[in-house]
Amino acid sequence: MRLGIDFGTTHTVVALVDRGNYPVVSFEGGDFLPSLVAAHDASGTLRWGWDAWEVRHEPGWTLLPSVKRLLNDAGPRTEIAVGPRRLAIGALLEGFFSALHRELIARSNAGIAANDSITAAVSVPANASTAQRFLTLEAFKGGGFVVEALLNEPSAAGFEYAHRNRRDERREHLVVYDLGGGTFDASLLRMTGKTNEVVATNGVRRLGGDDFDEAILALVLAKAGALDADAATRALVLEECVRAKESLSPNSRRFLVDLAALDREPLVLPVETVNEACVPLVARTLEAVRALVDEAAGVPWADVASLYVVGGAGLFPLVTRLLKERFGDKRVRRSPHPFAATAMGLAVWMDREGGYALEDRLSRHFGVFREGGEGRDVVFDTIFGKGTPLPAPGAPPAVVSRRYRAAHDVGHFRFLECSRLTDGRPDGDVTPWDEAFFPFEPGLRATGLASAPIHRRESGPEIAEAYALGSEGAVTVTVTDTTDGFARTFRLTR
């Protein structure tokens, strides 16, 4: 069985590869699995998905919503408090994907038998860090899936667009506007035949439907004079705000919220008042889209055929209205299935008969701080620049090699990613990763290098570094002392 799986902030959607069709899988609770974890406060028992949804308001249960957002600042050793327990973020994700695997077999219309192998293409935000990619990939594997590829979400949605509009010869350049529950991504694609080339990517790592919901909740509580409401009451009112938001249409004039949780009459607000609270959030996405195209060399706005809106938060009428005001009514198109576009696009890519191909690129610079000036300074080297093409899934990794004569007895490497470089230095959104140490002095190979002093050497060994960039955007480096072949390999995560 071949699937496309979109692990979203609030919803996880699955689409099948079925003889040229890509239907969305239905579960007993709906056409998605809520991206939720619930923990019993006394026993620590965990529930996932719809089972977690059922106990969200029951006493004695703690709900952990928007699990995917926890990945923004997480590394492999990050632990998350879930009720009385603390779990490594990888174990938490693996538990969720194991539950997804069970649900697909036992409580879905996918037609998967217990002994069937499930091969999947999965997705991450275009601006996801190396750690987020690594954790997502490993958790899917631990959950029982055979992962064939990990694609950026806007790139996957581009395949859904290409399949749906396969006879449209005007679609060479497309901007995918992907506003999900917790992240915003935009990608400029060049679409030639059945090949999608990622020209440029931009986005906001912490901006999505959750933020719209919180802005509306703050407005409602202020109007109701209930800003001091406790957490349980806020959760009930938030649910009503989400329900009211999702019921809006472009013609809606009133915003009605049930305030039974506050023991008050329903609150009625003009829709424009609600919109005013959310305009600054949409404005941030518009600026990201403008910068995306303006900074893409050789692609003027006139060559962009469409701005394609996907992601559940893109259903909010304000979003479409402001996009059309900024970029033109005819240019903005919304997917008929905003919630499912990414999963369906992943399934399109997984269809071996479809013949689609992707040429994706890194969305951030990757490099390393290393010792300089006899240990008195550090210098930064860019290893893989933003826009570096990613290898195709299944292809060998892209490799960058470096050789030098060691000038110190310990190599101290500090790896990081960043959204831009200023005069060759990391700038913008900078994400540091774990430090790595390598003994250039053979006598230090059995010692704890983190506390070893870094001394100048007059004639050190020749050192080789080989960086490997995989199709999923993860990086490993092997450092080798070429004099005797001693080597260490580091998987570069936060």
Question: What are the helix (H) ranges across 187-230?
Answer: 209-223
Q: Residue 410's pLDDT is what?
A: 86
**Burial of 321 per CB tally in 10 Å (0-12, 13-18, 19+):** middle
Please give the pLDDT value at position 433: 72
The alpha carbon of 71 is separated from its chain's Cα centroid by a whole number of angstroms, namely 8
pLDDT at residue 472 in the model:
79
pLDDT tens sequence across 107-132: 999 999 999 999 999 999 888 877 78
Give the range among 30-39, 45-54, 95-104, 298-307 with minimum mean pLDDT: 298-307
Query: Which residue in 5, 337, 268, 302 sits closest to 175, CA to CA?
Result: 302
Q: Is the model's pLDDT at 374 over the cut of 90?
A: no
Q: Give the pLDDT confidence score for residue 239 in this predicted structure.
A: 95
pLDDT at 104: 96
Could you tell me the residue ranges of all domains in the chain? 2-207+280-359, 365-491
Residue 365 Rama label (left phi>0; alpha psi -120 to 50; beta): beta
pLDDT at residue 395 tops 70: yes
472 or 442: whose pLDDT is higher? Answer: 442
Q: What pLDDT was estimated at residue 297? A: 66
Q: Are strands 462-469 and 475-481 parallel, antiparallel or unpaired?
A: antiparallel
The whole-angstrom separation of Cα 349 and Cα 87 is 34
Say what the pLDDT of residue 172 is.
81
Write down the pLDDT at residue 166: 65
Average pLDDT (25-48) is 93
Dihedral sign (CA 126, 128, 132, 134) = positive
Say how far residue 38 (Cα) sits from the centre of its chain. 22
Name residue, tokens 């909740």.
217
In this prediction, residue 205 carries a pLDDT of: 80
Instruction: Average the pLDDT over each of 156-165, 203-212, 320-329, 368-377 and give the range with the smallest value.
Output: 368-377
**Contact residues for 39 (Cβ-Cβ < 8 A; gap 6+):** 45, 46, 47, 61, 62, 64, 82, 83, 84, 85
- The 10s digit of each residue's pLDDT in 241-295 is 999 999 999 999 999 999 999 999 999 999 999 999 999 999 999 999 998 888 7
pLDDT over 80 (residue 402): yes
CA angle (219, 225, 230) in 5-degree steps = 85
Strand partners, 463: 404, 481
Across 49-53, 99-103, 327-331, least confident range: 327-331
So what's the pLDDT on residue 20? 87
The strand pairing partners of 7, in sequence order, are 12
pLDDT at residue 409 in the model: 85
- By the 8 A CB rule, do 196 and 356 touch? yes
For the chain, the residue count is: 494
Which of 229-243, 336-350, 391-405 has the lowest average pLDDT?
391-405
Instruction: Judge whether residue 441 has pLDDT over 90.
Output: no
Mean pLDDT (whole number) for 450-466: 78
Residue 47: pLDDT band by 50, 70, 90 thresholds? very high
pLDDT of residue 370: 78
- C-alpha to C-alpha distances, 82 to 40, 76, 463, nearest whole angstrom: 9, 17, 44
φ/ψ of 117, rounded to 5, equals -80, 135
φ, ψ of residue 104 in degrees (nearest 5): -60, -35
Q: What is the pLDDT of residue 46?
A: 93
**pLDDT by residue (tens digit) across 66-92?**
888 888 777 777 888 887 888 889 899
Asked if the 2-207+280-359 domain carries CATH number 3.30.420.40, the reply is yes
- Inform me whether the pLDDT recorded for 485 exceeds 90: yes
Instruction: Count CB atoms within 10 A of the CB of residue 96.
Output: 26
Q: What is the pLDDT of residue 230?
A: 93
Q: 2-207+280-359 and 365-491 share one CATH topology?
A: no
Amino acid occupying residue 202: N
Asked if pLDDT for residue 430 goes beyond 90, the answer is no
**pLDDT reported for residue 451:** 63
Of the candidate ranges 4-18, 67-81, 119-133, 473-487, the one whose mean pLDDT is the lowest: 67-81
- Residue of higher predicted confidence among 199 and 143: 143
What average pLDDT does the segment 152-181 reach? 84
Compute the C-alpha angle 253/254/255, nearest 5°.
130
CATH of domain 365-491: 2.60.34.10
CB 412 within 8 Å of CB 371? yes
Q: How confident is the model at residue 145 (pLDDT cuts 50, 70, 90)?
A: very high
Buried b (16+ CB within 10 A) or exposed e, 150-169: bbbbbbbbbbbbbbbbeeee
Residue 342: per-residue pLDDT: 96
User: Tokens for 415?
Assistant: 């790896």
pLDDT of residue 353: 80
420: tokens are 């831009």
With a cut of 80, say whether residue 454 has pLDDT above it: no
Token pair belonging to 284: 């941030």
Question: Given pLDDT bands bounded at 50, 70 and 90, which one contains residue 170?
Answer: low
Residue 493 near residue 134, CB atoms below 8 Å: yes
pLDDT score recorded for residue 418: 84
Per the prediction, the chain carries an average pLDDT of 89
